[in-house]
Amino acid sequence: MSHPDFNLLATLDVLLTESNVSRAAKRLRLSPSAVSRALARLRETMGDPLLVRAGRGLVPTPRAIELREIVSRLVPTVEAVLRPVEKLNLKTLRRTFALRSSEGFVESFGPELIARVEVEAPGIRLHFLQKPDKESKPLREGIVDLETGVVEDTTSPEIRAKALFRDRYVGVVRPGHALSEGEITPARYAAGRHILVSRSGFDKGPIDGSLESVGLEREIVTSVGGFSTALALARSSDLIATVPEWHTRGIRGDLFTFPLPFRTQEFAVSLLWHPRMEADQAHGWLRGCISDICAKPPGG
């Protein structure tokens, strides 16, 4: 019995992700003909066509679909096993890490993270990317090294996660706003004019559900895509912003913040990464830095 060629696993992983020989060749830094030959060998070895022609493209067979998640988990494990372990020297390391997060997170935690990196690993550069959606594809394809966010049902099952902190929503208004004085009741809060933070427009969020449970409804005047924008609007208007307390701790110091006068659910903000980076020492060091900084109390 001949032994399988484990080098084909990496090619299979990329082919199943791309369903396109040319794109797979580009990612693998091989010629399209080399990838086509590898695909032919995979078909012969596995006894399945894996990808079949459909119009101008290729579509996966049922067997290929079945294997996609298995192979995506297996390849990083094999790479980690075969990678030689070297002692990490942060002072001489030259590397760029891409971190995808919200603007509010970067504004609150970014300055301290950058300062720590400059002291401990001056050759490392941090590339902060905006987070327009919750798609796991950038982590899976290596476009992004790390990401922060709430783990949800849509998060790919292979993605690793570590909770950074628990958060809750608070109300925020400008100094001198009517809500900055006196008792804030659910009715007073709901009677104000509100900013909704939503990537999808004017869909109702968890705050609206909590208000409905006590028989109230708020008036949403405008919708924005991020918490920083919501705070900027609240800063220069009579609108009410409702934002995560810990997440925005560094960017609302000049505003009046108050606890919501009704029950809302806390949520965990986590650090996310792909398992291919699990054994990477520099990546692990950076994960530790972010965890340490996020665990500190404001001003700590």
Domain locations along the chain = 7-82, 95-160+270-295, 169-265
163, β-bridge pairs: 270
Query: What's the CATH class of domain 169-265?
Result: alpha beta
Q: CB burial class (10 A; 0-12, 13-18, 19+) of residue 46?
A: middle
* Residue 66 burial (C-beta neighbours within 10 Å; 0-12, 13-18, 19+): exposed
Q: Can 95-160+270-295 and 169-265 be said to share one CATH topology?
A: yes
Phi then psi for residue 93, to 5 deg, are -70, 135
Q: Where are the alpha helices (DSSP H) in the chain?
A: 7-18, 21-28, 32-46, 62-82, 103-120, 137-140, 186-191, 206-213, 227-235, 281-295
Return the CATH number of the domain spanning residue range 7-82: 1.10.10.10
3-state secondary structure of 98: strand
3-state secondary structure of 77: helix
Question: What CATH number labels 95-160+270-295?
Answer: 3.40.190.10
pLDDT tens for the chain, residues 1 to 300: 456 677 788 888 888 888 888 988 888 888 999 989 999 999 988 899 999 988 778 898 999 898 888 888 888 777 777 766 668 899 999 999 999 998 888 888 999 999 999 999 999 999 999 887 778 888 888 889 999 988 877 678 888 999 999 999 999 999 999 999 999 999 999 999 999 998 777 677 889 999 999 999 999 999 998 888 999 999 999 999 999 998 888 888 899 999 999 999 899 999 999 998 988 999 999 999 999 999 876 554
**Is the pTM here over 0.75, yes or no?**
no
d(CA 71, CA 274): 14
